[in-house]
Structure 1
Amino acid sequence: MGFWSDVQWWEDWQLRFLVLASLFFQYFLFAAALLRKCRVPPWFRSLVWLAYQGGDVVAVYALATLFNRHKKDEVAAGAAHHLDTLWAPVLLLHLGGQDGITAYSVEDNENWRRYLLVAASQIAIAIYVFCKSWWFPDGRLLRAAILLFVPGVVKCLEKPLALRNATVNSIANSSDPTMTLSIEEDDGTLPTAMDSLEKFVTAAKRCVEEEAKRDPPLFFDDTMNDEPYHLFVDLSHPYSIRLRNLQVMAAGSGGRAEAHDRVRASVSQAFDRLFTKHKASYGGVLRAVVVLLTFADIGLFQESRRSAYARADVVVTYVLLCCTAALEFVSACVVLGSGLPLPDDQLPQYNLIGYLARTMRRPRVRHLAFVLGLEDLVDWLWCTAPPEPSRRITELVHDHVAGGWKGYINSEVDYRRFNDGRGQRTLVRARSGGDRGVDDAVERLERSLRLPFDESVLVWHLATELCYFDHVDAGGEATRRSRVISNYMAYLLLVRPWMLMPGARSGLFRAVYAELKKMLNKQDTPSQPPAVEDDEEAGKKKAPPGAMDEIARKIIRQLRNPPAASSGGAPRPRPRKAAAAELVHKAWDLAYDLMEFSKNKMEESRKKKVMEVEEESKKTGQPVNLSKEKMGEIMISAGKDGDDEMWKVIQGVWVEMLCFSAGRCRGYLHATSLGKGGEYLSYVWLLLSYMGMETMAERTQRTELPAEGDAGGLVTPSDPEDDDDGDEPAQQQARGAPSGTVATTSVTKAAAAAAPPAAVSGAAVVPVVGDDDIV
């Protein structure tokens, strides 16, 4: 008896619970929409997805329950069931969703036909219910239902239409008239029409040089900047539009200072078009009408004969109408006001040594996560460091591109070399031109840039950490920025490899982690030196076990003093078959070369300072004073100069790698990432486009490179054996027995021109952004 009474109770209260649950989902989605542009934890995004899907399911189920109730009892329902007819248009409003979360992902936009079918079927059910109960005994209640029914139907149909408006085909077919005009009918309001890259490069270089002397305009008057979502569907801008963007981005110091804010606003506008209704021109009018009608319904219901209905239904109706009216009012204020908040512009940080330190402190947690299949989630949590602000990084990218326009790009070939560079230009600038030691160190650094890009990123990431922990408190601001970009690129490799580079392998990160862990688990041999000197260099206070600096010092000590293979002390050869071990040794070779570069720069600075002291003494006629204290000051200053130069090189290489990765990511992938909080790589990608650089859309449509361009951009080893890591034992002992080699390259224009472009593989091609005679 109790069971059937519970069933009967559920039959009576089922619809009331469903409409209140639908209301709850709408409030949660409204709050979640305000946070969608921010970087939130994965569990919260899972809740947003469940609410996005569950809100529609609950609204549909409530309408179906309402349909069944009126179908079963068309006459006997009486006045007690007339009140739930007023809930049908409110459920249609809920089914229309929230303005700030029309689509959860880009794929939802492509499924607009399914949402249209659902909306049409639910509108038909609501019309059926309304027709069955249109003869309200109370005329005020009838007018309230009619007033709310019309906007409910309109808003329900608005969602699939908004989804259709954000599809790739819809955006591609709705090209801006200015874009078409600039190509076909130039009326003089745009820059002179350009039909070749050579003309664009010439005009862009002159534009940057002229605009750098002017003050920036108060507003960004480029119409394409107001519609940046064209880039997110891989539509490239014509040269005239790209030149107009460049004029604003390069205008004086203001262009650099405002670059980050302009790009951030563009990302926000693209998000609004792809995932919300905020770009709809009629949205504000519809929201105002809905707000007025919902409040009018509350007034009409207040004056109706409420005593004729069940008390529970009256309470639910009050809650439903008042809460819906409040939600629509706040939503209308957001639409008519400033809109949703700006997107998150921070750089997530993943650090290989930091991840290693956490796993070594809590090995049982790692093992339990592996057993439960939650290893990826633990990796995400343990690799993550507090995000860093990105404004300074944006300024570095702006300076890099502006410097290329001013000091390097002079032709179409230079333009493509610059876009294909991933650190070569920084290394070319680092050459001293006179100091053989510096030039040799730079030549060895260039070898790391010939690796596949994902391997190069991982090698430079580990080398940056080794240099950081070996040179504590050196480099200043360049050190911090270098590590920020390094950790972000490691994050892309592990979490977003498809955005880092097509074909990037996220497994490299875990493979190198396993290799470092195996290296640290080895027992120290008696021949290894103690770690006292390293502890003194790192600081006065010894780090706790498992700390990052202790882990890094152990890795450096192990790589600097590898275990001997025999009693004779001969260095153990590098394992050829272990790719992860090879990458670790290459990272140490790179770190060693960077530190050697720092030492050479320090010696160069020391000589220069000594010469300055001698010249100053000659001018004053006093004897040269190079006391012990004076030489100590010179050595300290020269050491700081050497470290600064090393970190400037590391920072420059990372900036070029960041631009290289951003320019090779499809716009569609950037659009997909926006639905998950966005990536800073999209900021760099938009900035490159606005400053006239080549993105994936332009690169895929470029014509065949001229012979001169191919010849000038290729570097191949002069001897195939150069790629084999076969240093002489004496060289290995001189470098603390690391396993790297000195790369020697020799390329001439004639030899490069003789090789057909199609015969050069992608893995062997390395762009060099420097003078041909230097290479």
Structure 2
Amino acid sequence: MALDRQHAHFLSEFSISLLFGELYTKIKMIISGLGLCLHLLLPFLTLASILLFSTSHKYHDYNATDVKLTYILFCCTLPLDFLLLLLGPAIAGFGFIKVSQYSLLSFHARKKRPTTLMKLATVVCCKDHVNMHCYIKHGPSDSSSTIAELVLGYVNDGWKGYIHNAASYKIFNNHRGEWTLKKHRLGHAKRLGWSLKMAFDRSVLFWHIATDLCFHHQSTTPRGQECAVQSRVISNYMAYLLSIRPEMLMLGTRKGIFMVACDDVELMLGSELATDVRGLAQDEHVRWEVIQGVWVEMLCYSASRCRGYLHAKNMNEGPELLSYVWILLSLMGMETSADRYQMSEPPETKEEEEVEGGEVGAEGRSIQHEINIHV
């Protein structure tokens, strides 16, 4: 199902805004017949109150200061009521998609060299909680729309060049980076297969660390910079889900894996993954295109497997980017968690084995073994 970018972005934002309104606001009452009438009458009721007060206070012995203050309050309330009536639909829920950011390396650095806040938290025995929850940042304001365009491009490419029957549709929905590696046909691509075959939470951890290392060791070429920034935004968002919202990232994600990974971060920093990722291509732009493609696939994989009630439950603090991507995927005909219970599993094809298998080298097997012990 092909959607133009502007239309898809509008539909997704409108849908998530409506869902948020249904669950956490009084929009049901406002859009009812009685609610609309009362909403329209509100400014005129305020105006009537001003007129009644202007005639009635002359017949009572009110303090002059109190009268002036009452007029000021009325005069401030009236324009606000009219503005709400006119601008309410336009500001009802657009542009507030959360793209929270978290970094394992920053988390580890604060444990090694505590900030003042961390030292105070240590005194009251809540160091880990403060380190986990008080250093969450937020991505640029246009992050959600930019990521939506990446997701849209990925899905449209899938419909045009990959999906041709039920089996390929199923395989495409199971991708979490394999298609990107296969498309670019790079020498190092097969060596990275092991990092996508392990448990999803571990895979996110490894790619998050590799992305951070590549980001801090990149040259500042304009072509690679945009991909690098977007890759890191998605990487840090996935790390945020892993640490703060593990149940949304993937069913079965272990809640303590982020804390354990922090203790073993030196082990992961010494792995071959970061070296393999940095060695993907001589052209930095191509390297970041690969990293960005892997993260887009992982984001879609996670969004499609998060259950609907979790999207609704975690919307109380504002809609998550993952929920936004989930709606976008649904609008474009991709498989969601509900669909997976309705559809039978197609037989695994030779193409799937080739795409997903890769070559798990000796370094991949050894690192997997070490992480199985520590995490």
Structure 1 length-normalised TM: 0.42
Spell out, residue by residue over 1:28-50, the C-alpha distance to the aligned partner (whole angstroms, 9 max, x if none).
xxxxxxxxxxxxxxxxxxxxxxx
Separation (CA, whole Å) in 2 of partners of 1:305 and 1:256: 58
Separation (CA, whole Å) in 1 of partners of 2:21 and 2:361: 54
Identity rate of aligned residues, in percent? 38
Spell out, residue by residue over 1:687-740, the C-alpha distance to the aligned partner (whole angstroms, 9 max, x if none).
1111111112222322x224x25887569989x9989945xxxxxxxxxxxx57
Spell out, residue by residue over 1:433-491, the C-alpha distance to the aligned partner (whole angstroms, 9 max, x if none).
xxxxx1xx322211111111111101110111222334443633222221111111111
Query: Are positions 1:455 and 2:207 aligned together?
Result: no
Q: CA deviation at 1:649?
A: 1.6
Q: CA deviation at 1:596?
A: 3.6
1:678 alignment counterpart: 319
For residues 360 and 333 of structure 1, do their structure 2 counterparts lie closer, same or farther at Cα, with a shift above 3 Å needed?
A: same
From 205, 209, 213, the counterpart of 1:466: 213
Give the 3-state SS of the residue equivalent to 2:313 in structure 1. helix
From 78, 84, 92, the counterpart of 1:334: 84
Query: Are positions 1:380 and 2:133 aligned together?
Result: yes
**Letter of the 2:331 counterpart:** Y
2:372 alignment counterpart: none
From 287, 294, 310, the counterpart of 1:669: 310
For residues 335 and 272 of structure 1, do their structure 2 counterparts lie closer, same or farther at Cα, with a shift above 3 Å needed?
A: farther
- The answer (yes or no) to whether the contact 2:40–2:85 under 8 Å persists in 1 is no
From 234, 242, 247, the counterpart of 1:485: 234
2:102 alignment counterpart: 350
From 391, 397, 406, the counterpart of 2:160: 406
From 252, 257, 273, the counterpart of 1:590: 273
Q: CA deviation at 1:508?
A: 2.0
Q: CA deviation at 1:662?
A: 0.7
Separation (CA, whole Å) in 1 of partners of 2:327 and 2:87: 26
From 700, 705, 724, the counterpart of 2:345: 705
**Letter of the 2:103 counterpart:** N
For residues 351 and 294 of structure 1, do their structure 2 counterparts lie closer, same or farther at Cα, with a shift above 3 Å needed?
A: same
Higher RCO, Cα 8 Å, sep 6+:
2
For residues 377 and 304 of structure 1, do their structure 2 counterparts lie closer, same or farther at Cα, with a shift above 3 Å needed?
A: same
Separation (CA, whole Å) in 1 of partners of 2:207 and 2:340: 26
From 650, 659, 662, the counterpart of 2:300: 659
Within 5 Å, give how 1:376-525 maps onto structure 2: 376-384=129-137, 387=140, 389-390=142-143, 391-431=145-185, 438=187, 441-473=188-220, 475-516=224-265, 519=266
For residues 328 and 668 of structure 1, do their structure 2 counterparts lie closer, same or farther at Cα, with a shift above 3 Å needed?
A: farther
For residues 481 and 301 of structure 1, do their structure 2 counterparts lie closer, same or farther at Cα, with a shift above 3 Å needed?
A: closer
- The answer (yes or no) to whether the contact 1:430–1:649 under 8 Å persists in 2 is yes
Q: CA deviation at 1:263?
A: 1.9
Separation (CA, whole Å) in 1 of partners of 2:258 and 2:141: 21
Give the 3-state SS of the residue equivalent to 1:644 in structure 2. helix
From 286, 289, 297, the counterpart of 1:645: 286
1:691 alignment counterpart: 332
Give the 3-state SS of the residue equivalent to 1:362 in structure 2. coil
- The answer (yes or no) to whether the contact 1:423–1:654 under 8 Å persists in 2 is yes
For residues 692 and 297 of structure 1, do their structure 2 counterparts lie closer, same or farther at Cα, with a shift above 3 Å needed?
A: same
Spell out, residue by residue over 1:111-135, the C-alpha distance to the aligned partner (whole angstroms, 9 max, x if none).
xxxxxxxxxxxxxxxxxxxxxxxxx
For residues 503 and 327 of structure 1, do their structure 2 counterparts lie closer, same or farther at Cα, with a shift above 3 Å needed?
A: farther
1:296 alignment counterpart: 48
For residues 668 and 710 of structure 1, do their structure 2 counterparts lie closer, same or farther at Cα, with a shift above 3 Å needed?
A: farther
- The answer (yes or no) to whether the contact 1:396–1:655 under 8 Å persists in 2 is yes
Separation (CA, whole Å) in 2 of partners of 1:305 and 1:371: 59
Spell out, residue by residue over 1:517-552, the C-alpha distance to the aligned partner (whole angstroms, 9 max, x if none).
xx5xxxxxxxxxxxxxxxxxxxxxxxxxxxxxxxxx
- The answer (yes or no) to whether the contact 1:349–1:488 under 8 Å persists in 2 is yes
Q: CA deviation at 1:682?
A: 1.8
From 284, 307, 318, the counterpart of 2:36: 284
Within 5 Å, give how 1:233-244 maps onto structure 2: none
For residues 293 and 366 of structure 1, do their structure 2 counterparts lie closer, same or farther at Cα, with a shift above 3 Å needed?
A: closer
Spell out, residue by residue over 1:613-644, the C-alpha distance to the aligned partner (whole angstroms, 9 max, x if none).
xxxxxxxxxxxxxxxxxxxxxxxxxx3x2x33
**Letter of the 1:343 counterpart:** G
Give the 3-state SS of the residue equivalent to 1:382 in structure 2. coil
For residues 645 and 308 of structure 1, do their structure 2 counterparts lie closer, same or farther at Cα, with a shift above 3 Å needed?
A: closer
- The answer (yes or no) to whether the contact 1:348–1:388 under 8 Å persists in 2 is no
Spell out, residue by residue over 1:627-674, the C-alpha distance to the aligned partner (whole angstroms, 9 max, x if none).
xxxxxxxxxxxx3x2x33322221111110000011111223222333
Separation (CA, whole Å) in 2 of partners of 1:478 and 1:399: 14
Q: CA deviation at 1:405?
A: 0.3
- The answer (yes or no) to whether the contact 1:457–1:489 under 8 Å persists in 2 is yes
For residues 278 and 324 of structure 1, do their structure 2 counterparts lie closer, same or farther at Cα, with a shift above 3 Å needed?
A: farther
- The answer (yes or no) to whether the contact 1:291–1:325 under 8 Å persists in 2 is no
Give the root-mean-square deviation of aligned CA atoms.
3.6
- The answer (yes or no) to whether the contact 1:287–1:332 under 8 Å persists in 2 is no
For residues 388 and 462 of structure 1, do their structure 2 counterparts lie closer, same or farther at Cα, with a shift above 3 Å needed?
A: farther
Separation (CA, whole Å) in 1 of partners of 2:83 and 2:12: 25
- The answer (yes or no) to whether the contact 2:139–2:233 under 8 Å persists in 1 is no
Separation (CA, whole Å) in 1 of partners of 2:182 and 2:99: 28
For residues 317 and 497 of structure 1, do their structure 2 counterparts lie closer, same or farther at Cα, with a shift above 3 Å needed?
A: farther
- The answer (yes or no) to whether the contact 1:659–1:685 under 8 Å persists in 2 is yes
- Stretches of structure 1 that go unaligned for 5 or more consecutive residues are 1-245, 250-254, 433-437, 520-580, 599-638, 727-738, 742-775
Q: CA deviation at 1:328?
A: 6.9
Separation (CA, whole Å) in 2 of partners of 1:364 and 1:326: 43
- The answer (yes or no) to whether the contact 2:194–2:364 under 8 Å persists in 1 is no
From 115, 118, 138, the counterpart of 1:366: 118
Separation (CA, whole Å) in 2 of partners of 1:326 and 1:286: 20
Within 5 Å, give how 1:76-155 maps onto structure 2: none
Give the 3-state SS of the residue equivalent to 2:99 in structure 1. strand
- The answer (yes or no) to whether the contact 1:463–1:590 under 8 Å persists in 2 is yes
- The answer (yes or no) to whether the contact 2:210–2:273 under 8 Å persists in 1 is yes
1:615 alignment counterpart: none
Give the 3-state SS of the residue equivalent to 2:118 in structure 1. helix
**Letter of the 1:468 counterpart:** F
1:7 alignment counterpart: none
- The answer (yes or no) to whether the contact 2:110–2:131 under 8 Å persists in 1 is no
- Stretches of structure 2 that go unaligned for 5 or more consecutive residues are 370-375
For residues 670 and 315 of structure 1, do their structure 2 counterparts lie closer, same or farther at Cα, with a shift above 3 Å needed?
A: same
**Letter of the 1:367 counterpart:** K
Separation (CA, whole Å) in 2 of partners of 1:327 and 1:661: 46
Q: CA deviation at 1:676?
A: 0.6
Q: CA deviation at 1:278?
A: 4.1
Q: CA deviation at 1:354?
A: 2.8
1:260 alignment counterpart: 9
Structure whose residues are more often helix by fraction? 2
Spell out, residue by residue over 1:553-575, the C-alpha distance to the aligned partner (whole angstroms, 9 max, x if none).
xxxxxxxxxxxxxxxxxxxxxxx
Separation (CA, whole Å) in 2 of partners of 1:460 and 1:428: 17
